[in-house]
Amino acid sequence: MPLSPPSRLSLRRIFLAVSFAGVLLMPIHSATAADAATVHPELWPRGHSPLPPDPALEARVSALLAKMSVEDKVGQMIQADIKSVTPDDVRHYRLGSILAGGNSKPNGQRTATAVQWQQLSDAFYRASMDISGGRLAIPVLFGIDAVHGHNNLVGSTLFPQNVGLGATRDPQLIHAIGEVTARELRASGINWTFAPTLTVPQDGRWGRAYEGYSQNPALVAQYAGAVVAGLEGKLGTPQYLDADHVIATAKHFVGDGGTRDGKDQGDAEISEAMLRDVHAAGYPPAIGAGVQVVMVSFSSWNGVKMAGNKALITDVLKDRLGFGGIVLGDWNAHGQVPGCTNEDCPVAYNAGLDMLEAPDSWKGLYKNTLAEVKSGVIPMSRVDDAVSRILRVKLRLGMFEAGLPSANPLVVRSTKVIGSPAHRALARRAVRESLVLLKNNGVLPIDPRRHVLVAGDGADNISKQNGGWTLTWQGTGLTNADFPGATSIWAGIRAQVKAAGGSTELSIDGSYKNKPDVAIVVFGEDPYAEFQGDLPNLAYRPGNDHDLELLRRLRGQGVPVVAVFLSGRPLWMNREINASDAFVAAWLPGSEGEGIADVLLRTGDGRIAHDFHGKLAYAWPRTAVQIPVAAAARGEQPQFPYGFGLTYADHGDTGPLSEDAGIELSSARAGVYFSHGKPAQGFALRLTGADGTTANVTATPAATADGSLRISSLDYKAQEDARSLGWFGKGTARAALVASAPLDVERETNGDVMLVTTLRVDAVSPQGASIGVTCGSGCSGEVPIGKQLAVLPRGQWLRVGVPLKCFRDAGADMGKLDQPFEWISSPGERIAVTDVSLGTVADQTLACPAAVGRP
């Protein structure tokens, strides 16, 4: 479809930005940081609100504003999370909105149904409309991250993540997905989504790259208006913001996809031209489609935090681009602005944010903001502008007349709306269109009348095929039972092969009873979200060749192999591509796994029902250290260029490809301190005896000088891939991993990341044990684990996790760890350890008991 006309000038700028990426992508080296962060609003495209003047609506806004107390106004400017706010709080503080973060569900549950969401929404609405004691009735907005369907709702339709939708090149599909998402949100009683994400990721190492449609700003601009119109309804028609649609949020303004090294919440060290023409490309068309909310990014532009950047928020977004809706902060992002805390940030309001997302800090923020408004630190004119914008959005949505959320007709028939056959059919179509074929030596399409082996840990794993932002923030800790109505990739293949008269066999490890005619191996990244997905390079599971070995083993047995790769980004996969007869980039396809079978398999009578359609929306790296967009600026070629994608009509025998990763793969993992029984690159294993003497372990067996701690090698899965530690004599001894340079894990600590130790407990000390970290002289945090360790099974390998928050609560500065792991114990303790790393999944998560800091 040709580009709809958001702006010929805007598209010309996009073309120029892409054409001259070699210049624009270079880091800023200007005279001063202030020069690099100077904004020139007059160089940005001039826009205006697409909504026609509405004197009646403005009269209502003015009338409400005149009746509101300062307390009422401040309450409207704060958004609290349902984990930390109650309906009574909304009634008392007159809060303008609430949100449900990725791990926030009704009644503190892990997952939630439509009825539970409806009941919660009704409770908050009733509280906001309570007029007892002379209160004003102003309905509360309820926002949620519905980013690939209503992904916080059990039984909903889950679409491919945006990285896959970019490969479809289908704006009409994107519009339809927006419509379905809106209907399922409304059917559960929710009226606002924090979508679409209009980021333009330039570095696949970023953990949020899969939330972006493409590296190409022109494609993002093309999709922006389509998805907003789907979510909110078409501007200028009766459907705009009617009962079938929701408030949309364009995010994250601006530059989140351009940070240095792809670091989440990092700094976009780029020119203003690059910021405008590439990273802001989606905002003019989104504003033109009537988007009602823009969320400001966590990230910085040339050293200035976006949440405090008045020039970009007020002078550009509001005044130059003409955005007239609500400007919203991200999750406590205001607390990162210099001089601010999560509970106090007048700078953000004065910069132009109308509402701050203060999930767990809202009460302190309310108190401080109220005082600052009364004292004039935040001018009343700024408050009135913010509250007016919030009221306009609520009035446009018809909230004052709509009544209880559960009164919406879609709620009444929610069981026929949520996860309906028509909605799932659309998601299945999206899966088909998103698949990108990178290699095919003739094995595809598959005759379904044959014997088909389906292997790999992604084959029958609906959580894995969805990725992050799925029922939980990280999308982890789930089983297929959490997805009623969904179809795994295996189930879709099995159904079609059976219908055609063939046979199937599921075997995660690739073993089989009867030799198959073909094997489909489904594997890929485990779910992650935000910074927990940040990578140091684009290597796939460095140090873990399990999937590669599976592909090679099957092929070595004479079985043709089709690799189906699940991922949120292109990764260096040359070895796996070489080991396969066909290689399919399936991205994160969502709940309708049968869409993959639709394309891989012929029909029962031998026809091709669905050919490959997808084209890469991101270039594919040639090595594990090549960042394709930046490499293009240097004249280097990627392995597969932007726009690549084979069909069945193409000659697709790709390869052999170079297997030079450009990096030592054994040292390429992120957040790994100890692997296969050895310290990771940049770390040393140090023993400290009860007498205080220390020694680094360079070979095993070894011991402290006083013999209080001894270490030896043992076999776990391979020869000497674990270490056994034993405590003897008297006193306390320690085994620690020492970093060659201080580590900053503050972001990970603010999330749900744990220090995960893969270990075997053989005996515990009667005096107990602790896990600790140190952060320089006089700085540490220890977490006592003796009692919890004592109940773990003996002689069994387990992944044991300690939340990083525990160490912070114990007094550690998580921004400068010099020893990110320390096991402290006394005589009688015997454990074996093979791996120490950061992660979100563990067999046993230890609670944070009373923790202690060490002087």
For helices 8-19 and 217-232, the axis angle rounded to 10 degrees is 140
pLDDT digits (tens, 9 = 90+) for 8-34: 334 344 433 343 333 334 444 344 556
- Amino acid, single-letter form, for residue 696: N
Identify any residues that bridge with 687 across adjacent strands, giving them in sequence order.
695, 735
pLDDT digits (tens, 9 = 90+) for 239-270: 999 999 999 999 999 999 999 999 999 999 99
Identify any residues that bridge with 837 across adjacent strands, giving them in sequence order.
672, 756
pLDDT band at 699 (very low <50, low <70, confident <90, very high): confident
Exposure string for 94-129, b = 16+ CB within 10 A, e = fewer:
bbbbbbbbbbbbbeeeebbbbebbbbbbbbbbebbb
DSSP string for 320-332: IS---SEEE--TT
pLDDT digits (tens, 9 = 90+) for 423-482: 999 999 999 999 999 999 999 999 999 999 999 999 999 999 999 999 999 898 899 999
- Amino acid, single-letter form, for residue 465: Q
pLDDT digits (tens, 9 = 90+) for 319-337: 999 999 999 999 999 999 9
Give the other-Cβ count within 10 Å of 310's Cβ.
Answer: 16
Cα dihedral: 478, 484, 486, 487 (round 10)? 90
Count of CA atoms in the C-beta half-sphere (13 A) of 367: 5
Name the percent of the chain lying above pLDDT 70. Answer: 95
In angstroms, the CA 201 to CA 191 distance is: 28
pLDDT digits (tens, 9 = 90+) for 792-848: 999 999 999 999 999 999 999 999 999 999 999 999 999 999 999 998 888 999 988
Q: What does the block give as tokens for 163? A: 């990285």
Out of 330, 457, 547, 822, which one is annotated catalytic?
Answer: 330
User: Is position 54 annotated as part of the catalytic site?
Assistant: no
Phi, psi (5° rounding) for residue 495? -65, -45
Give first-to-last CA distance, the chain, whole Å.
66
pLDDT digits (tens, 9 = 90+) for 759-793: 999 999 999 999 999 999 999 999 999 999 999 99
Model confidence at 595: pLDDT above 50: yes
The H or E element that residue 519 is part of is strand 518-524
In angstroms, the CA 154 to CA 303 distance is: 41
Q: Where in 160-308 does DSSP place strands (E)? A: 192-193, 249-253, 267-268, 293-296, 300-301, 304-305
In angstroms, the CA 163 to CA 171 distance is: 14
Distances, alpha carbon 133 to alpha carbons 123, 129, 130, 791, in Å? 19, 12, 9, 54
pLDDT band at 668 (very low <50, low <70, confident <90, very high): low
Phi, psi (5° rounding) for residue 535? -125, 150
pLDDT digits (tens, 9 = 90+) for 497-550: 999 999 999 999 999 999 999 999 999 999 999 988 899 999 998 877 899 999
The H or E element that residue 802 is part of is strand 797-803
Q: Please choose, from the candidates 324, 321, 319, 311, the residue with its C-alpha nearest in 3D space to the C-alpha of residue 350.
A: 311
Out of 277, 315, 530, 598, which one is annotated catalytic?
Answer: 530
pLDDT digits (tens, 9 = 90+) for 36-72: 899 999 999 999 999 999 999 999 999 999 999 999 9
pLDDT at 851: 42
Helix (H, G, I), strand (E, B) or coil at 844: strand
Mean pLDDT of 719-743: 92
Q: What is the mean pLDDT of the chain?
A: 93
User: Is position 530 annotated as part of the catalytic site?
Assistant: yes
Inter-residue contact 586 to 565 (CB < 8 Å): yes
